[in-house]
Amino acid sequence: MQTLLVTGGAGFIGSALVRLLINETEWRVINIDKLTYAGNLESLADLANHPRHLFSRTDICDRAALDGLFAAHAPSGVIHLAAESHVDRSIHGPGDFIQTNINGTYTLLEAARAYWSGLEPAARSAFRFHHVSTDEVFGSLGDTGLFLETNAYQPNSPYSASKAASDHLVRAWHHTYGLPTVMTNCSNNYGPCQFPEKLIPLMIHNAVSDKHLPIYGKGDNVRDWLYVDDHARALWLVFEHGIPGETYNIGGHNEKTNLEVVDTLCSLLDDMKPRADGKRYAEQKVSVTDRPGHDKRYAIDAGKIERELGWKPVESFETGMRKTVRWYLDNPEWVAHVVSGEYRQWMDRNYGDRT
Ligand code: NAD
Ligand code: DAU
């Protein structure tokens, strides 16, 4: 049985990836996560005692702990998702983004390199370090054009600058030391278990809680939305079949303005959970002060991963959004625990001294 280290596996995308790996492969997963405010093992409640899922509460900035995990578990590779991920938080407090996204990636690269250097030749060439990144490193598009892997980096927020720095470190570790890295840059994800600070879960939660739906500025910024399980499938495909040193863009071909996204959510909720007073959810929309430096438009050209690795998203925007709204309506405790902070106590009860 082969072993994979996954960092950030208690987060939104990481938990979807861990579930895919346990349910659809034979791999053993060592899930390394610091459990910041965004880490939530309740998202992996079904795998709490699975024999191929081992959780370790570890900070990726802790070199000694990482060395111990590599030595103890002898992994065949790493998929690195751990990061500070929310743009608004990076604007209000960039320090954690520099620490985790840059220093943490550097520390993980060095721990991986030390371990990889000591492997036998066959294991050395089979080893992969997969760095999970974002389309935000390419900056903002105008009304036309798509992000290609070859676009210049032009990050605009503290978050995207820290991710860009981590991408450059990964590239350098491949070029200089020969570490077999692959990298992916993905567009906006949505789906179950996303922390309700991000647009889609925030709007669903606020709508059913009878709160305002705060739209930054005019709501005409464009994002390219991808259902999280489609991203997880792409990550595994790149880990298994991507060429070392290469990067792959991942996106859903679903460009929408923020207003279109919120209106879609409101109509789905009108249909799936009509308001008791007969009003439409769209009446809860309000325009609020714009995000400083707000990138206008992101859109991915996913041609390379489609052509070279045969990946295509399964979900359309319509099917993915319906599934997402259904999940949030069916799992009010998950959201309530996050909002109240109860998920911390849930983790203590169910994961005990591992957290
Ligand atoms: P998330 O915020 O939901 O999860 C991040 C996870 O990392 C959390 O479980 C957190 O506890 C953990 N973490 C944070 N700092 C850590 C540290 N120092 N050591 C160990 N663990 C730590 O994020 P997400 O949305 O799941 O994003 C995962 C990755 O994918 C990130 O690298 C992000 O940049 C990238 N990405 C996200 C999106 C998106 O739309 N969400 C799109 C493209 C790329
Ligand atoms: O493009 C990939 C990136 O997508 C990832 O790298 C990030 O980790 C992820 O957080 C996401 O970044 P965004 O800033 O695009 O996502 P967010 O959900 O914060 O915002 C989406 C859009 O909605 C953006 O244009 C800002 C707007 N917005 C957001 C919130 C939270 C609002 O209008 N109102 C809101 O309350």
Q: In this predicted model, what pLDDT tens digit does every residue of 122-142 receive, in sequence order?
A: 999 999 999 999 999 999 999
- Indicate whether residue 188 lines ligand 1 (CB < 6 A): yes
Task: Tell the CATH superfamily of the 3-351 domain.
Answer: NAD(P)-binding Rossmann-like Domain (3.40.50.720)
Rounded CA Rg of the chain: 20
Measured from the alpha carbon of residue 155, the closest ligand is 2
Residue bearing the CA closest to ligand 1, atom 15: 83
pLDDT at 350: 75
**Residue of 188, 204, 212, 228 to test ligand 2 pocket, by largest number of atoms within 8 Å of CB:** 188
Query: Cβ contacts of residue 43 below 8 Å, gap of 6+?
Result: 10, 12, 15, 192, 193, 334
Given a cut of 80, is residue 98 above it in pLDDT?
Answer: yes
Tokens found for residue 90: 């990076």
Cβ of 147 below 6 Å from ligand 1: no
Which one of 136, 229, 255, 301 is the catalytic residue? 136
The one catalytic residue among 159, 227, 248, 298: 159
The yes-or-no answer on residue 136 being catalytic is yes
Which CB contacts under 8 angstroms, 24+ apart, belong to 93-96? 94/158, 94/162, 96/36
| Cα separation, 139 vs 150, whole angstroms | 13
State residue 134 phi and psi, 5-degree precision.
-125, 155
Query: What is the pTM (predicted TM-score) of this model?
Result: 0.98
**Would you call 5 helix, strand, or coil by DSSP?**
strand
Confidence category of residue 354, pLDDT binned at 50, 70, 90:
low
Say if ligand 2 is within 6 A of residue 58 CB: no
**Catalytic-residue membership of 328:** no
12 pocket-lining for ligand 1 (C-beta < 6 Å) = yes
pLDDT tier at 345 (50, 70, 90 boundaries)?
confident
Bridge partners, 77 (sequence order): 4, 128
- Interhelix angle 317-330/332-340, rounded to 10 degrees, is 70
User: 36 in ligand 1 pocket by Cβ < 6 Å?
Assistant: yes
